[in-house]
Amino acid sequence: MTWLTPWVGAIAAAVAVPTLLILYFLKLRRRDVEVSTTLLWKKAIQDLQANAPFQRLRKNLLLLLQLIVLGAALFALAQPQFKGMATTGQRHIILIDRSASMQSLDETASGGPRAVQRLDAAKQQAIELVESLRESNAFQRDKADEAMVIAFDSTAEVVANFTSDKGALTRAIEGIEARDSISFMEEAMRLAQAHAPRRVVEGQAIEGLSLAEPATIHLWTDGAIEDADRVLPTIEKDVKYHAVGLEGAINLGITSIRAERDFENPNRLSVYVSISSTDPSARTLDVELAIDGVVAGVKSVTVPGVAVLPAPAPTEDGEAAPPPERSSASTSGVVFALNQPEGGVITTRLRTGGDDDPRVDALRVDDRASIIVPPAKRLAVALVTRGSLFIEAALQGLPLARLVTYTPEQFQTEMDQGRATQFDVVILDSWLPRTSAGETLPPGRWLVFNAVPGGTLGLADGGEGESALFVDWARDHPVMRGLVLDNAVIARSRRVTIPDGNPIAVLAMTSVGPGIAELITPEARAIVVPFNIAESTWPFDVSFVVFTASAVTYLGADISDPSVRRMLRPGGILADQLPPGATEPVLVEPDQRETSLVLAPDRRVTFGPIRRVGLYQIRWSGAGTDPGAIRPLRTYSANLTDASESDIRAHPRLVLASRTVAAENEGRVKDRRLWPWLLLVALLVLMFEWYVYNRKVYY
């Protein structure tokens, strides 16, 4: 049992109890009265003895009852309670997962059997923790507990900094909303460390050292954290993992969707859908496919049950063996073959049945996925080179309508005669064309290797640099998605910089500067690799082939149907450049909520982070329209499609970089406060005291 305000009760008792006793020590002042009989003297002597000061008190039922009432009230003032959740220490960091899996409906609402989201249960438990913190008062102000609240998914956000204001902490927790993204915790831990107090030693502030007691981290999540094994807590006294959700929760979800056109007949479109299941039993369900909202097909698929791993046998010394790692979710898939020469929005949906019963499918956000496909067309590609075995080999496997190789002189002649516009994408190897305006890139779509496009909207060439490695890249960009560049070594890099105001986006950064960039002008779009790939190990890695194919497809799809844009991931940023003449852009979210966008001088618009899955649209006013587009409108698709997030089975242990933390089972037990019961006892005794007093006076 603990006391929230013990000194308040003690000081009040030191004042109230002696005051009550003094009332029984006081002597009444009486006037002389002559009586006609001695029968009343006995009563008069008793009154005199009972009120004589500094005399031993006689047994008095009223005094006993009043002491009981006063004691119950004083104990209630000290706020005793039995702890249901440990709150060791004075500083607490509350981390609440708000990712997609926290929307699973497998938790129970307090006071009833109704199923609620994991996030709602986590918020309720976090509020109970806040309510159990020790409060400040006039006698122990420095003893008040403090807490901060951080909500995280693919990004992290401090929703309440360190404070002892329980109302502010409760409002911050209640305001946390779920997002349809995956969960990363490393940024949340860095935020917690950045907001921790610092200790000053000899005039220098040391990060992560508390002025008082180190903070205790309370983590509410189901354990589906992508980077848990990279999280290294450095400021905590303790880490408490409060697991939410069931270890055997059942979910079926779409983990992948892609569309490909047939190499020989581009009108034939194949849509591949991957499905995962955490159900121990095999499940048969229907997968529905719709094109622009019209159902085009339904297929049945059976997903096998999840394998149940046997418990490990005890070790030779008789100790219990560690619990086994859980088996992976089972997977299956379905393929739709369509005759679809036109482009459109293809949406797939799982029909799991059960009338949205969470016991059949606890998470619904991954039951739907969309993809935007361009119309049937094979790209015409020109390769301008004096000889590059690596680039030619990477292009051989692409479903191109035409691939023509030119020398720089030959292609310059084609440009001068106006015949270069017949190609959807032009690949430039160690060469840049001449133009009458002096710009190095004329209108078109370009993939540039070992050259630095300059001009008023281009890059600035700083000459050759030393060896370099890729250190980071834009993983959400369609050209870079799925690439792993860690193993690529650049023997001789190129030092390039981006002048202020130029519409250039860095897609990959090396240790000496931009390594891959996207250049956008009013009439041209280019993916630029400024260094010589022959002087690197990149062509020997599969990522180079994937990059080349993705870049050609991205540039070619952009010119064949500019209304088709990139796929989005929840937690990412929507960024695009609108055509010339576009004004007043508006974003329409999946729930039809509209948001006005700011149009940059280079006609770029951005929105994010993306919080919900579904279809997003940008519409605008003015004369600007995409070539071939019916109306000024672009569509974007955001899908969860993440196997780890769809595996909603709660983790009993959380493996961090520095330790393995077991789930706190007592996290669900609410504090039992005793002061309301003490006040009730005081009220009942007070009523009994009133009854005794009335009988003594009137009877």
Q: What is the pLDDT of residues 516-539, one digit of tens each?
A: 999 877 678 899 999 999 999 999
Residue with the bigger pLDDT between 258 and 36: it is 258
The per-residue pLDDT for range 331-346, each reduced to its tens digit, is 999 999 999 888 889 9
- Binning pLDDT at 50, 70 and 90, where does residue 470 land? very high
The CATH number of the domain covering residues in 382-560: 3.40.50.880
pLDDT value at residue 669: 42
Share of the chain above pLDDT 90, in %: 36
Instruction: Give the mean model confidence (pLDDT) for residues 281-287.
Output: 93
Strand partners, 239: 217
- For residue 679, CA distances in Å to 7, 76, 132 come to 18, 6, 19
Residue 171 has pLDDT above 50, yes or no: yes
Instruction: Give the mean model confidence (pLDDT) for residues 306-327.
Output: 63
Instruction: Give the mean model confidence (pLDDT) for residues 149-163.
Output: 93
Residue 290 has pLDDT above 80, yes or no: yes
* 574-643 maps to CATH 2.60.40: yes
What is the enclosing helix (H) or strand (E) of 14? helix 6-25
Region of poorest pLDDT, from 82-86, 182-186, 515-519, 643-647: 82-86
Determine if the pTM surpasses 0.75.
no
Both tokens of 48, joined, read 């005199």
Residue with the bigger pLDDT between 126 and 13: it is 126
Residue with the bigger pLDDT between 600 and 83: it is 600
Both tokens of 693, joined, read 């007093």
Instruction: Give the mean model confidence (pLDDT) for residues 133-158.
Output: 79
> How far apart (Å, rounded) are the C-alpha atoms in residues 313 and 321?
6
What is the enclosing helix (H) or strand (E) of 76? helix 61-77
Share of the chain above pLDDT 70, in %: 71
pLDDT value at residue 338: 92
- Binning pLDDT at 50, 70 and 90, where does residue 316 land? low
Instruction: Give the mean model confidence (pLDDT) for residues 542-562.
Output: 78
Cβ atoms of 242 and 220 within 8 Å: the answer is: yes
Residue 200 has pLDDT above 50, yes or no: no
Residue 298 has pLDDT above 60, yes or no: yes
The per-residue pLDDT for range 643-678, each reduced to its tens digit, is 999 999 999 888 888 788 888 764 444 455 666 666
Which CATH architecture describes the domain 84-248+648-670? 3-Layer(aba) Sandwich (3.40)
Cβ atoms of 107 and 121 within 8 Å: the answer is: yes
Residue 204 has pLDDT above 80, yes or no: no
- How much is the mean pLDDT over the chain? 80
**Residues 6 or more apart in contact with residue 323 via CB below 8 angstroms:** 311, 312, 652, 653
Region of poorest pLDDT, from 165-174, 200-209, 317-326, 619-628: 200-209
Residue 589 has pLDDT above 60, yes or no: yes
Alpha helices in 347-463 (DSSP H): 389-396, 408-416
pLDDT value at residue 106: 86
pLDDT value at residue 399: 77
- For residue 307, CA distances in Å to 275, 326, 653 come to 16, 9, 20
Region of poorest pLDDT, from 57-66, 536-545, 563-572: 57-66
Instruction: Give the mean model confidence (pLDDT) for residues 389-402.
Output: 86
pLDDT value at residue 23: 59
Residues 307-310: contacts with CB within 8 Å, 24+ apart? 308/280
Domain residue ranges in the chain: 2-79+676-698, 84-248+648-670, 253-306+328-375, 382-560, 574-643
pLDDT value at residue 437: 55
By CB atoms closer than 10 A (0-12, 13-18, 19+), residue 59 is: exposed
The CATH number of the domain covering residues in 253-306+328-375: 2.60.40.10
pLDDT value at residue 203: 45
| Four-residue CA torsion sign, 34, 37, 43, 45 | positive
Cβ atoms of 541 and 487 within 8 Å: the answer is: yes
Residue with the bigger pLDDT between 622 and 463: it is 463
Residue 286 has pLDDT above 90, yes or no: yes
pLDDT value at residue 525: 86
The per-residue pLDDT for range 234-268, each reduced to its tens digit, is 554 578 899 999 988 999 999 999 888 876 787 89
Region of poorest pLDDT, from 381-385, 452-456, 568-572: 452-456
Residue with the bigger pLDDT between 575 and 636: it is 636
Composition of the chain by helix, strand, coil, percent to 5:
25, 30, 45
Residue with the bigger pLDDT between 154 and 25: it is 154
Angle between the 166-174 and 118-131 helix axes, to the nearest 10 degrees?
180
- Do domains 84-248+648-670 and 382-560 share one topology? The answer is yes
Tell me the Ramachandran region of residue 530: left when phi exceeds 0, alpha when psi lies from -120 to 50, beta otherwise: alpha
pLDDT value at residue 236: 47
pLDDT value at residue 199: 46
Both tokens of 659, joined, read 């330790």
Instruction: Give the mean model confidence (pLDDT) for residues 85-110.
Output: 80
Instruction: Give the mean model confidence (pLDDT) for residues 270-280.
Output: 94
- Binning pLDDT at 50, 70 and 90, where does residue 325 land? low
Residue with the bigger pLDDT between 101 and 316: it is 101
Instruction: Give the mean model confidence (pLDDT) for residues 62-78.
Output: 66
